[in-house]
């Protein structure tokens, strides 16, 4: 299971937390993740993509989002590491999501915009 967590299988996080840490750890992870995503989306993510362009927001945001997958050791060490990973992943996703949605809207025709956004949401 540790290998699956290291490869980025977020679906195994609750099982991992139950077996190695307390059950509250998984609740805290998803709570911190959700709070950070909502704050980033509401405060600055969309404006950054509009001001600086899509790629300058997507690339670093994707790096933050992938950091937890590429470096799962903080999750294994402590609850603070788990919460730090949740915050980094939330910050990355909060930046990537609106920028990618804007990119899809920019590159799709008016007729294809609905199916394009539906495909993107299915991918996320």
Tally of domains in the chain:
1
Q: What is the C-alpha to C-alpha distance for residues 80 and 74, in angstroms, rounded to an integer? A: 8
Residue 7 or residue 119, greater confidence = 119
Reported as a single tens digit per residue, the pLDDT across 13-53 is: 666 666 665 666 777 888 998 999 999 888 888 888 889 99
Share of the chain above pLDDT 90, in %: 28
- Is the pLDDT at 73 greater than 70? The verdict is no
Which of 18-22, 55-59, 76-80 has the highest mean predicted lDDT (pLDDT)?
A: 55-59
Residue with tokens 């099982």: 15
With a threshold of 0.85, does the pTM exceed it?
no
Buried b (16+ CB within 10 A) or exposed e, 102-114: bbbeeebeeeeee
pLDDT, average across residues 43-71: 84
pLDDT, average across residues 60-76: 71
Which of 25-29, 69-73, 106-110 comes out lowest in average pLDDT? Answer: 69-73
Backbone angles phi, psi at 63, to 5 degrees: -65, -40
First and final C-alpha spacing in the chain: 23
Domain span holding position 9: 2-123
């Amino acid at each position: 299971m540790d290998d699956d967590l290291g490869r980025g299988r977020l679906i195994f996080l609750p099982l991992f937390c139950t077996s190695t840490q307390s059950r509250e750890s998984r609740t805290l992870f998803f709570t911190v993740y959700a709070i950070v995503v909502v704050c980033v989306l509401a405060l600055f993510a969309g404006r950054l993509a509009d001001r600086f362009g899509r790629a300058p927001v997507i690339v670093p945001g994707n790096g933050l989002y992938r950091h937890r997958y590429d470096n799962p050791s903080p999750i294994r060490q402590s609850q603070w590491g788990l919460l730090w990973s949740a915050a980094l992943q939330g910050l990355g996703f909060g930046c990537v999501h609106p920028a990618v949605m804007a990119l899809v809207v920019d590159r799709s025709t008016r007729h294809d915009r609905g199916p394009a956004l539906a495909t993107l949401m299915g991918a996320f």
